[in-house]
Amino acid sequence: MSFDLERILESKRAFRQQIAARPIEEKLSMLDALRERALAIRAAQPILKAGALHEQPPSYRVPGKKLG
């Protein structure tokens, strides 16, 4: 199998432009679907043993700032 790196990179650029052009509602819907998939994958993984590497999801809250 051979690949053309320039063609791959151009395809990625075009895909990113298509995503950027979509309405915000559609982008948020895509994020919801990705989150549901991630949760399903996480649930299907075996339970981690004590001492195993486990990464906590990042917190996006700003310390000391209240919402609303």
List the chain domain ranges.
5-44
pLDDT at 41 (0 to 100): 87
pLDDT tens per residue, range 18-53: 999 999 999 999 999 999 999 988 888 776 555 566
11/8 Cα distance (integer angstroms): 5
**56 falls in which pLDDT band (50, 70, 90)?**
confident
**58 falls in which pLDDT band (50, 70, 90)?**
confident
Residue 9 in this model has a pLDDT that exceeds 60: yes
44/15 Cα distance (integer angstroms): 30
pLDDT at 65 (0 to 100): 66
